[in-house]
Amino acid sequence: MQNDIISLQETSENVWQAKYQGNYGTYNIKIKINGGKIDTFSCSCPSDYFPCKHISMIKSAIDNRLAKNKENPKENTISVEELLRNVPHKELVDFIARQAKYNPDLTTKLFLEFMQKVSGKQESNYAKVLRNSLKNVDFDYDDLNDGEDSLEIDVLDEWLNKTREFINQKRFDEAIAICKACIEEYAGWLEGIDDEFIDYIDPVYQEKPFEFLSEIASNPEINSNELFQYCMAEMCKPKYSGPDMDDSFNDLLAELAHTENEFDEFIALQDRLLRGVKDKSSHEVQKIIERKIAFYRKNQQHETAWKLVSENIQIESFRKQVVKQNIADRKFSEAKKLIADFLATSQNNNYFRSEWNELALSIAQKEKDIPVIRKIAFAFIENYFEKEHYRIYKSAFNSGEWEKEVQKIIAHYEKNGKNFSNSVADVLAEEHDAYKLIGYIKKHLTIERMDQYHAHFAKEYPKETLDIFQKVINQYADKNTGRNYYEYLATLFKKIPRIEGGKEMATMMIAQFKNLYKNRRAMVEVLGKIKL
């Protein structure tokens, strides 16, 4: 596996990049180390596992590289520091300038490290450098087809890593300047990128600068009003409408607003946004109102927040909140009207309506309205058995009524009776009708159905249960080969001893199978590991 590592290098302090030759092409891997442990990582392989196996492989390779460097330091070699001290200043400057001209990565590192020593406004300086760096970033269709979940931008990774470094060093002015440059130049760069690529770009490049600014703003030494005014002015620019950065700006503004004037400016901004949306039941309106509600609650203005909820019941989630509050206040009539009005105009889709029916059902239970309980509960179990609502439905009948009703339900599920119905079996299990259930399973016998339902009748009918198991296991073993099938047989043999007389039968069958199927080495191996 280590031989499949094509390249491995530390691109900045504690940040490593690797290329790995995998089964589906070359994978790009990035790992950031913190205190000897993995801090963040990414891998372009198509694995469903998280983290994938390549992360631990590369981490092991990094550890080996560091250990070898520590054990075998280069002897009799002048250090880089010593060399640089002996190079005349002008020669060193000329050399670095020549190298940087043809090495964009070195150029980026130089600017990020020493930009603060250059005169002029730092935001403007950083913006110019990043703008030029982003011009060299391009994607092609191979990037979309190489198995990566998202497209990464190395130069922005470098800038975000440097921002974190500045924050840790409490160099907040530099961190803020980089964040502003990342926000402004990334949005401008996106304007020239095809939409099909934009959908695949890792959202971290849009989100992380705002997260950093939020973190920085929590420091009491920072002038949060200056950041607040920056966001108010910057977010109005047309380039932010494409990448939908307005949410990030608004969320940051909500955190930055500390004075009464800032409160008023933030709310006035949200109201302007609301006036710009014609459909007052749209997701956009919901998003803006939720932002206002969260802002009021954060600032302990709970009554104002609730007023917003109750005044906007055209939004489904707000209507639900009002209904639930009415139920809690035992205002059942108001709650039922809100539910009925919504259901009258909603789509005819049971899944879409189910939560509203749950609310209506809870009211009916509180009011002990038997006809309504029966109607709504049956709607939940009409198409398939579902235990919770089945029990609610049952609670609305007395014992005499229920004996007849349960037969109707079984007939409803069974219909023509020719095909197996899980709902019929589930009803019989729920009603503890072991005799009918074992008969139903025998009629529609499969090994999976025996596995699923045998516990509901094994205690009352142990011998018959074991006989059925023996029959169905013999059939299964005869027809199926392969380790997965043998492993399933093993799980069944482990369950059978829970049945009275089952341990003896399982022991006997395992011995018989080892002899009968002795040429199936995988089966003999799997059965040999069973401990009853």
Question: What is residue 53's three-state secondary structure?
Answer: helix
Residues 98 and 224 in one domain: yes
Same domain, 8 and 149: no
The reply to whether the predicted model has a pTM over 0.75 is no
In a domain, 211, yes or no: yes
Q: Are 232 and 116 members of one domain?
A: yes
Which tokens in the block code for residue 241? 């409408």
Q: Looking at 77, 109, 140, which one is the last position of a domain? A: 77
pLDDT-derived band at 454 (thresholds 50, 70, 90) equals very high
Q: Is the same domain home to 160 and 213?
A: yes
Instruction: Tell me what pLDDT residue 73 has.
Output: 60
Number of neighbouring beta carbons within 10 Å of residue 363: 21
What one-character-per-residue DSSP string does 285-306 give?
HHHHHHHHHHHHHHTT-HHHHH
Q: What would the mean pLDDT of 286-299 be, rounded to a whole number? A: 96
- Round to the nearest angstrom and report the end-to-end CA distance of the chain: 39
Query: Is the same domain home to 192 and 132?
Result: yes
Contact by Cβ (8 Å): 195, 243: no
Task: Count up the domains in the chain and report the number.
Answer: 2
Q: Are residues 234 and 111 in the same domain?
A: yes
Cα distance between residue 301 and residue 307, in whole Å: 10
What are φ and ψ of residue 86, in 5° steps? -100, 0
Percentage of residues in the chain having pLDDT higher than 70: 91
Three-class secondary structure assignment of 94-147? HHHHHHHHCCHHHHHHHHHHHHHHCCCCHHHHHHHHHHHHHHCCCCCHHHHCCC
Query: Which residues share a beta bridge with 21?
Result: 26
Same domain membership, residue 165 and residue 210 = yes
Of 45, 77, 109, the residue that ends a domain is 77
Residue 451 binned pLDDT confidence (cut-offs 50, 70, 90): very high
What totals of helices (H) and strands (E) does the chain contain, helices first?
Answer: 28, 4
Name the residue with tokens 């590289």.
65
Residue 45: its pLDDT value, please?
82
Residue 191 lies in a domain: yes
Q: What are phi and psi of 33, to 5 degrees?
A: -100, 140
Residue 132 in domain: yes
Domain annotation covers residue 320: no
Same domain (yes/no): 33, 177: no
**Last-in-domain residue among 13, 43, 77:** 77
Complete DSSP assignment for 264-284:
HHHHHHHHHHHHT-S-TTSHH
Alpha-carbon distance 454 to 458, whole Å? Answer: 6
**155-191 per-position pLDDT tens digit:** 898 889 989 989 999 999 889 999 999 999 999 998 8
Q: Which CB contacts under 8 angstroms, 24+ apart, belong to 236-243?
A: 237/187, 239/187, 239/188, 239/190, 239/191, 240/187, 242/187, 242/190, 242/191, 243/186, 243/187, 243/190, 243/198, 243/206
Tell me the torsion sign for CA atoms 11, 184, 177, 259: negative
Average pLDDT of 354-366?
Answer: 95
Is 273 within the bounds of a domain? Answer: no
- Continuous segment of H or E residues that includes residue 180: helix 172-190
pLDDT in tens, 475-511: 999 999 999 999 999 999 999 999 999 999 999 999 9
Task: Tell which phi-psi region holds residue 14, choosing left (phi > 0), alpha (psi between -120 and 50) or beta.
Answer: left
> Domain span at residue 9?
2-77
State the angle between helix axes of 172-190 and 122-135 in degrees (0 to 180), rounded to the nearest 10.
Answer: 40
Query: Do residues 178 and 105 share a domain?
Result: yes
Establish if 101 belongs to a structural domain.
yes
My answer on whether 148 and 96 are in the same domain is yes
pLDDT score for 490: 96
Can you tell me the distance from the alpha carbon of 21 to that of 43, in angstroms, rounded to the nearest whole number? Answer: 12
Q: Looking at the structure, do residues 27 and 110 belong to the same domain, yes or no?
A: no
Answer whether 156's CB lies under 8 Å from 206's CB.
no
Whether residue 189 sits in one domain with residue 53: no
* Side chain identity at residue 383, one-letter code: N
Nearest of 125, 198, 126, 209 to residue 160 by alpha carbon: 209
* pLDDT, the chain, mean: 88
Model pLDDT, residue 514? 94
